[in-house]
Structure 1
Amino acid sequence: MDKFTIKKQAIAGTVESSDIQIIVDQNANNGIEIELSSSVAKQYGRRIREVIEETLSNLGVQNAKLVVEDKGALDCTIKARTIAVVHRAAEMTQTIDWEAIEEWNV
């Protein structure tokens, strides 16, 4: 069972410069699907996907469909947006300790 189960569609982030917008939805037992749109996809697309997949794995998410629009976000922003969107989609109400995030290895 997933630590975080995607219960509904959710969104985090913006399409402003240096940010990333992630929309997540359910993907019944079909694993992780990422649809990535980025002007730097040829250079950094693999890394963007890797950061998202690692973060989802650390959160225990096994099934999710993501639509991602990158505007040049750094890894830390990608992680934060991924964590936020998963919490929203899983309807989690707990407070996130953002300062301790690196301690989780997320």
Structure 2
Amino acid sequence: MKLIKRAVAGTLESSDIQVIIEPREEACIEIELKSSVEKQFGRQIRRVIRETLEALGVENARVIATDRGALDCTIRARVLCAAYRASGIKGKYDWEVIDKWNA
């Protein structure tokens, strides 16, 4: 999936995460995380973000995530939403990527 613009998903409410994704020219995924629980769960939050983007085939992205105690499923949902918005895809979502976590 190719990102073409900056996109946002999520809120700054408790138990949520705001994810901002923007395209990068370099071939890497850069994650900037702000979280009150970063010491306990920062590694897991980054892993979920990275795995979700890799499952979508995103290779060039800068992610700014502001976490307020979101669960993994919420993090995945916000990353998916932001990535689809950033790619400009409308209505042709790859639901197979999402189903892999339900197996």
TM-score by length of 2: 0.91
Secondary structure of 2:32's match? Answer: strand
Q: Give the unaligned 5+ runs of structure 2.
A: none
What is the aligned partner in structure 2 of residue 13 from structure 1? 10
Query: Does the 8 Å contact 1:13/1:81 carry over to 2?
Result: yes
Q: Percent identity?
A: 49
Secondary structure of 1:58's match? Answer: helix
Q: Quote the RMSD (CA, aligned, Å).
A: 1.9
Secondary structure of 2:59's match? Answer: coil
Give yes or no for the alignment of 1:32 onto 2:40.
no
Deviation >6 Å, runs of 4+: none
Please state how far the C-alpha of 1:74 moved relative to its aligned partner: 0.1
Give yes or no for the alignment of 1:73 onto 2:70.
yes
Paired with 1:58 and 1:105, the residues of 2 have a C-alpha distance of 10
**Residue deviations 1:19-43 (CA, integer Å, cap 9, x gap):** 0000011111240000100000000
Secondary structure of 1:52's match? Answer: helix
Please state how far the C-alpha of 1:94 moved relative to its aligned partner: 1.9
The 1:44/1:104 distance shift into structure 2, 3 A limit, reads same
